[in-house]
Chain A
Amino acid sequence: MRLRVKYSKGGRAVFLGHLEMLRLWQRAMRRAGLPLAYSHGFNPHPRLAFGPALAVGIESLAEYLDMELTMVLDPAGVKEKLQAELPAGLELLLVFPIPDQAPALTAIIDAAAYRVAWEEPPDQKFLQQKAEALLSRPVVQVSRPGKDGTRVKDIRPGVFQLAVKPEATLAMLLECSSRGVVRPEEVVSTMGLEGPYRVTRTGLFIRQGDALLAPESIAATEIKTAGKGLLARD
């Protein structure tokens, strides 16, 4: 059976990178005695699939992973057993079954919501102006250092929403899919703002027109259709 897990990542756990998380989950699941399905082949590995990677140092209220088990188990029992094997900072929020054929998280998720909060908050109006200024620009170029030199990318199409919330926090909805990713720090620095600030990923979503669907907010069968619909869009 396939189970989808939603969890939060906070405290010291924010310092764990994607590879470390991968290892951590495998070990926690083995300690919990979950009957994980293994791939066949040269070097068998457990059938686990993660949602989009989260950068080191960022808190999250909504991370996802899918796991495949060789037996049908009660999701509530799995949640309890697994939570007991997780280090501080990782909290299981939901564990629910999904159909065997449901598309992978990375295939359906295409947006991530973030909240940016400053240690010393900037002026609310000033922040508002900065946000409007960014949204009014047709092109927003950022440079990304990579292995083959620095590349310039237009992130404007990937900034879906940008809003100033009370106490000068910034809420953003940014592209986060296999086609591209916009990072919250890129948006902040493009706006000419500086730290120290704290970033929290508040949600991962499937965009359907103007609607935002969380991977758990739709029934298992709908996830399947939603996935197909999104894939067909391209």
Chain B
Amino acid sequence: MQDSDWEKLLTRVAKPARYLGTEWNAIHKDWKENPVRMAFVYPDLYEVGMSHLGLAILYGAVNERPGMLMERAFAPGPDLETLLREEHLPLFSLESHRPLTDFDVLGFTLQYEMSYTTILNILDLAGIPLKASERAPEHPLVIGGGPGVANPEPVAPFFDAFLLGDGEEALPELLALVGRLKKEGAINDRRRVLKVIANLPGFYVPSLYKVEYNSDGTVAAVIPREEGVPERIVKRVIPDLDAAYFPTRPIVPFLEVIHDRMMLEVMRGCTRGCRFCQAGAIYRPVRERDLSILLRQAEELVRHTGHEEISLTSLSTADYSRVEELARALAATYADQGVSVSLPSLRVDAFSVRLAEAVQRVRKSTLTFAPEAGSQRLRDVINKGVNEEDILTATGEAFRAGWQAIKLYFMLGLPTEREEDLLGIVDLARRILDQGRKLAPGGKPAVTVSVSSFVPKPWTAFQWEPQDRLEVIKEKQKLLRSHLKGPGLRFNWHEAEVSFIEAVLSRGDRRLSKAIVAAWRRGARLEGWSEYFNYGCWEAAFRETGLDPAFYACRLRREEEVFPWDHLDFGIAKDFLKRERRRAYEGRVTADCRSGRCTGCGVCPGLGVDLILKGGSRDSAVTGKI
């Protein structure tokens, strides 16, 4: 695109700063000197995509290597989309404003199911055929990564390949391979290229596998179509994060983005073992970073970005075995530079509150806890690992320390849920509020209850469970709404229809790709944003394609059923998940494997890795805890 055309486009959109590509630390590599070119495409708006740590990691990891470059692209805002379509201009990358078809590889991250229609929209705006089978040799290889790859089958026809697991090493390997094939002139033989990729560890080429179905509509098998294609694809794991690349010069956005701060990844994985949690399963094992490395990375981040906040990120930061030392050191070092420290996820215990207090010296906005379920019975079913006393102690500490507003996250529709579990949410919220009135005198305590709907996800103990039907979810929301009224109480809930589509897509098979196309054709896109989500598009799409969404979302699956993702290997043993499911029904909790007792999930022996705790051995990590 000519620079003048580009600037004219920018003068006509509401937030041109989304598309400039000249942010601080953006990398503009020479197009000629770097013959292997990839665009990382985040299938959502800039503000969401730029908050994603994975993008920063891969952008840096690829660009630091000679011979290859990575640029960024995001879903355009609706105003730019209209302009591009009116002017017949293709979607472009930010750094060089080149059409996406100029790249060798397009990498989409599958962060959530509701971005699938946006992926199609981006391919369409780029002028790339939606289906991998319809692409010509000159089209880029379209690959996908991220948590959605736990079950990529609903979007399998749109992708040439998927990467399972960590990408820091695997992605440069793929690009090096593409470079070699380009040099040999073999890149245009698409079939050969795909077969070579299918033999790279961690890469899944869906077109090389066929799916067979049973007469009842369930999957019978997913098997290679030809010889020389692996039967199972094992996820990639970076065994030691200390040795892995980490970006300390990330791009500093001009616009205010969703997470507008430095991200310091303290560890990867989570050992808690909540039975509904997919991230906790697929990012195993836990690998902590060394304290000294984190302190150095923080120093570099502050110096290179100028951000005012350091966020200690991971799935469960308070579990990092040296979190207190880290948080206190950072808070002390950067306080007079106006740089604060934040902990995005908190455990429901007094330790977490004291930690939050230690770092948030001045500003005390809202403290968020996630009890997830309203009764002890149900918290044991999901293996949340906290009891009512923990919760009340934690919230009590928070009020005493000066917080006035507490936010509580719950899930609705969990397996075995009964009305008393829902009323338990109400009871807990009221007790916390009463506590606030006693412990925070003179203040105005406020408790917000935020309720999402349970989505059964692959690789969890609940992957066999049905999701409540829409009308049941709505009834339950109504019950909570009627009880969670009065001064100091607020109630938020997620749109039931969104969770329903999420459940359909997360456990679906390849046949669903037709419904995704149909929904997109009817205008579905940017569906992570409530103002753009349109359930009508999906209802019509299912009708049109003759697919029954309830078959995917609301059906109790037989224990021996073959799942569409059974040929993928995230290290978690199916027997372990079955065992966890039985324990859930019995209300038996399973201890955290940090305690030294292996739960037998299969990840460490299966992937040849081990959990890495920097507080010392497994045992001392626990005894060293406050």
Contact = CB atoms under 8 A, between A and B. Distances in A.
Contacts of A89: 22
Interface in B6-60: 10-11, 16-17, 20, 22-24
B363 interface: yes
Contacts, number: 63
B440 interface: no
Contact of B308 (A12, A16, A26, A88): A26
Interface string B294-318: 0000000011111110000000000
Nearest to B11: A57
Contact of A87 (B16, B24, B339): B24
A14 to B, nearest CB: 9
B16 A27 contact: no
A42 B404 CA distance: 14
Given A20-B255, A43-B363, A27 B10 contact: no
Interface string A25-42: 011111101001010001
A35 B307 CA distance: 15
Interface in B312-367: 337-339, 362-363
Given A20-B255, A87-B23, A15 B17 contact: yes
Interface in A40-69: 42-46, 56-57
B213 interface: no
B17 A17 contact: yes
Nearest to B26: A87
A85 B303 CA distance: 11
Contacts of B305: 27, 31
A27 B17 contact: no
A23 B254 contact: yes
A7 to B, nearest CB: 16
A15 B20 contact: yes
Which among B11, B254, B307 has the greatest number of chain A C-beta atoms within 10 A?
A: B254
Nearest to B15: A17
A29 B308 CA distance: 11
B306 A29 contact: yes
A24 interface: yes
A20 B254 contact: yes
A211 interface: no
Nearest to A21: B254
A232 interface: no
Contact of B252 (A13, A27, A38): A27
A15 B308 contact: no
B304 A15 contact: no
Contacts of A16: 17, 254
A42 B20 CA distance: 34
A92 to B, nearest CB: 16
B338 A38 contact: yes
Contacts of A56: 16
B307 A27 contact: yes
Contacts of A152: none
Contacts of A45: 338
Nearest to B23: A87
Given A12-B22, A30-B306, A43-B363, A23 B256 contact: yes
A20 B252 CA distance: 11
A1 B363 CA distance: 27
A30 B17 contact: no
A15 B11 CA distance: 8
Contacts of A17: 17
Nearest to A11: B22
Contacts of B255: 20
Contact of B10 (A15, A36, A85): A15
B255 to A, nearest CB: 6
B605 to A, nearest CB: 46
A19 interface: yes
Contacts of B252: 27
A36 B338 CA distance: 9
Contact of B338 (A15, A30, A42, A88): A30
B338 A20 contact: no
Given A15-B10, A38-B338, A88-B22, A31 B306 contact: yes
B20 A12 contact: yes
A88 B337 CA distance: 25
A85 B306 contact: yes
A27 B302 CA distance: 10
A199 to B, nearest CB: 11
B17 A31 contact: no
A99 to B, nearest CB: 25
A30 B338 CA distance: 9
A30 B308 contact: yes
Nearest to B337: A30
B129 to A, nearest CB: 33
B363 A42 contact: yes
A27 B250 CA distance: 13
A28 B17 contact: no
A43 B363 CA distance: 6
A31 B338 contact: no
B44 to A, nearest CB: 20
Contacts of B10: 15
A122 B308 CA distance: 49
B322 to A, nearest CB: 26
A13 B20 CA distance: 9
A33 B254 CA distance: 20
Nearest to A43: B363
A69 B24 CA distance: 23
Given A20-B17, A38-B338, A85-B306, 20 more contacts: A11-B22, A15-B10, A15-B17, A16-B254, A20-B254, A23-B256, A24-B254, A26-B308, A27-B24, A27-B306, A27-B308, A28-B24, A28-B306, A30-B306, A33-B303, A42-B363, A43-B363, A57-B11, A57-B16, A87-B23
Interface of B: 10-11, 16-17, 20, 22-24, 252, 254-256, 302-308, 337-339, 362-363
Interface of A: 11-13, 15-17, 19-20, 23-24, 26-31, 33, 36, 38, 42-46, 56-57, 85, 87-89
24 contacts: A12-B20, A13-B22, A16-B17, A19-B256, A23-B254, A24-B254, A26-B306, A27-B305, A27-B308, A29-B306, A30-B307, A30-B308, A30-B339, A31-B24, A31-B304, A31-B306, A33-B303, A36-B338, A38-B338, A44-B362, A46-B338, A56-B16, A87-B22, A88-B22
Lowest 4 CB-CB distances: which A-B pairs, in order?
A: A27-B306, A30-B306, A15-B16, A31-B306
